[in-house]
Chains A and B, each alone.
Chain A
Amino acid sequence: MQFCGQHRKITTKYLLFLLSGQTVFSTFNNHTGKTEGMNEHHRENTIIRMFHVYKRYGAKNALVDISIDVRKNEMLLVTGPSGAGKSTLLKLLYLGEPVSEGQILIEGINLSRISNKRIPFLRRKFGIIFQDYKLIPTKTVFDNIAMVLEVTGESFRFIQKKVSSVLRTVGMEGKLNAFPPSLSGGEQQRVAVARAVVGDPKIILADEPTGSLDSESASIIMGLLKGFHDRGTTVIIATHDHEIIRKTKGRALYLKEGSIQSEDVKPTKKRPITI
């Protein structure tokens, strides 16, 4: 939380930098006394930056002064009770909702300055998983997943190959022509995971991915997400499931009433997490 406090003191100064479309790492890190080398390393490794972000629905504050950095290939767990703002935080990242105040940078792109035409291209950086799967019931498993590649204009041959490969990864290769309503909750979520990763996104956003699943299915889904994280994808999971938080290595942000209450880092064997 010291991290957020330091930011707050220099808000006005760095807001000017952000409004000009620049990142503020170099100046920020000079203030915090870090070296140029570390500074450069930090910039290269940060994929998401939220800077004093607020989200309001009318008079109600859904998120209050959120400032966080997410590094490439990080596993970030956003947790907290219902209504804490976990889903809202994820929505702000893919511009499902606009920010009320503050700045968000995704790979250096300032979301406040992005044009409507560029939003679809920003969303292609994300693979999104929802608690309610959001699969199209009238389309087959193949069509649901293929849609991600169709919007980018890929050829049908490539789509066929890629979808089959991803379905194999999530263990659903036999359900290519099934319709979502004929699948169990766990199977539907596996299809949703396949859809999220088929476009090779840089970031996976999972909003309560195990919320509607039994423990066995939840464990499969978490295993898949960890697998994609191990292959280099940044994964952000919003969950209130303590079992998942306990078992998953990475950084955990605890939200309450829209504010970050605490931050817990569980270093993985492969990459020690530093803030």
Chain B
Amino acid sequence: MKSGLIIFFIKRAIQDIFNNRFLHAVTITTIALSILIVSAFGLFLSNAGDIMDSWKKGIRIMAYLDKDVELKQIAELEQKILDLYGVADIRFISKAEALQQLKAEMNRQTSLFEDLKENPLPDVFEVQMMASTQNWEKIEVLAAQIERLPHVGGVEYGQHWLGRVIGIFNLFKFTGIVMACIFFMASVLIVANTIRLLFYSRQQELEIMRLVGATDGFIKAPFYIESVIQGILGGITGILVLFVIFWVITSNVEQDFSAGFFNLRFLPVGMFLGIIFGSMFAGWLGCYLSLKQFLKV
């Protein structure tokens, strides 16, 4: 295709958008709203994912030892744990040290410990994992291996609460995907409807174009360009609005609320490009469906 012809199609598409400003504005706004909702979900999930990753990275497996384990057995056990795949470091915390630590953390309630006849805490190994092992499945496998070792009474790595949080996160993720699909379909149908209205309003012109020898491609091309422009403008508008909301929230709330626990960040570049591409594709698909139905030579 000649480059002059492409420029001609683009000019015509832009001219058509200006000629039908109201119709296009409604379509772009609707796409923008859909994109706003979907990308807000994406933003939430991406930040929630970051927070969970940081939690996962902070996880240590605590291996509690049986009572009365001898020093020699402790040394052997330490070596066995270190030999396991994925273990980066290990630290032995004796029950005396653990009690000391507990007392230091609960310094206002030290009276609670005064009546203790003996130290109720067990000896413990604090196991640190390699970076490659810091995902949920691998942590579970490693914890199970440590638990099976002799003299290990039990392991703790926050499996209950983290499991629950991951479950909720996955539910949100699924909901987000379903919502994205619904809003994608809504955008496609809205674009299809817009193109249908444009098609009806320009029916006489298209009929004359056919009579003077316009090919199918020549007639269709400006409609496709208009739809893709609608998709891009809708996508960018939606994300811009989301950015403004995000900026307002983070600049007012973050320093008070998160207090250094985590840094909220805007959509990653990949997700941003994916959303824009998705809204472009929605425009194209809407146009395709509409023209397939109405433009048969």
A positions within 8 Å CB-CB of B: 94, 96, 116-117, 119-124, 128, 134-136, 138-139, 147-148, 150-153, 155-156, 195, 199
Contacts of A156 in B (CB 8 A): 4, 8
| CB-nearest residue of chain B to A116 | B297
Contacts of A121 in B (CB 8 A): 213
Q: A148-B213, A150-B8, A153-B2 are in contact. Are A119 and B297 (CB under 8 A)?
A: yes
Contacts of B204 in A (CB 8 A): 134, 136
* Distance (whole angstroms) from the CB of A53 to the closest CB of chain B: 20
Q: How many A-B pairs with Cβ below 8 Å?
A: 57
Interface footprint category on B: 10 to 19
Contacts of A136 in B (CB 8 A): 204-205, 208
Say yes or no: B297 contacts A128, CB within 8 Å: no
Complex formed: what's the CA distance from A64 to B207 in Å?
A: 27
Say yes or no: A123 contacts B212, CB within 8 Å: yes
| CB-nearest residue of chain B to A149 | B212
Query: What per-residue 1/0 map shows which CB atoms of B184-213 lie under 8 Å from chain A?
Result: 000000000000000000001101111111
Identify 10 residue pairs between A and B in the complex whose beta-carbon atoms are under 8 Å apart, listed by A's number: A116-B216, A117-B215, A122-B213, A128-B212, A147-B209, A148-B213, A151-B209, A153-B5, A155-B4, A156-B4
Contacts of B212 in A (CB 8 A): 123-124, 128, 147-148, 151, 195, 199
Complex formed: what's the CA distance from A261 to B28 in Å?
A: 60
Contacts of B205 in A (CB 8 A): 136, 138-139
Pick the contact of B211: A117, A134, A152, A155 (CB < 8 A): A134
Scan residues 280-296 of chain B and give those whose CB is less than 8 A from a CB of chain A. none
Say yes or no: A151 contacts B2, CB within 8 Å: no
Pick the contact of B210: A120, A152, A153 (CB < 8 A): A120
Contacts of A151 in B (CB 8 A): 209, 212-215, 218
| CB-nearest residue of chain B to A148 | B212
A-B contact sample (19 more), CB < 8 A, given A135-B208, A147-B208: A116-B216, A117-B215, A120-B214, A120-B215, A120-B218, A128-B212, A134-B204, A136-B204, A138-B205, A147-B209, A148-B212, A148-B213, A151-B209, A151-B212, A152-B213, A153-B5, A156-B4, A199-B212, A199-B213
B positions within 8 Å CB-CB of A: 2, 4-5, 8, 19, 204-205, 207-216, 218, 297
Say yes or no: A123 contacts B211, CB within 8 Å: yes
Complex formed: what's the CA distance from A120 to B221 in Å?
A: 16
Contacts of B213 in A (CB 8 A): 120-124, 148, 151-152, 199
Contacts of B4 in A (CB 8 A): 153, 155-156
Complex formed: what's the CA distance from A148 to B218 in Å?
A: 12
* Distance (whole angstroms) from the CB of B149 to the closest CB of chain A: 75
Q: A119-B297, A136-B205, A151-B218 are in contact. Are A128 and B8 (CB under 8 A)?
A: no
Contacts of A122 in B (CB 8 A): 213
Contacts of A148 in B (CB 8 A): 212-213
| CB-nearest residue of chain A to B2 | A153
Contacts of B214 in A (CB 8 A): 120, 147, 151
Complex formed: what's the CA distance from A153 to B2 in Å?
A: 8
* Distance (whole angstroms) from the CB of B1 to the closest CB of chain A: 9
* Distance (whole angstroms) from the CB of A71 to the closest CB of chain B: 23
| CB-nearest residue of chain B to A136 | B205
| CB-nearest residue of chain B to A121 | B213
* Distance (whole angstroms) from the CB of B128 to the closest CB of chain A: 69
Complex formed: what's the CA distance from A111 to B209 in Å?
A: 20
Q: A153-B5, A155-B4 are in contact. Are A123 and B210 (CB under 8 A)?
A: yes
| Most chain A C-beta atoms within 10 Å of own C-beta, residue among B205, B207, B212 | B212
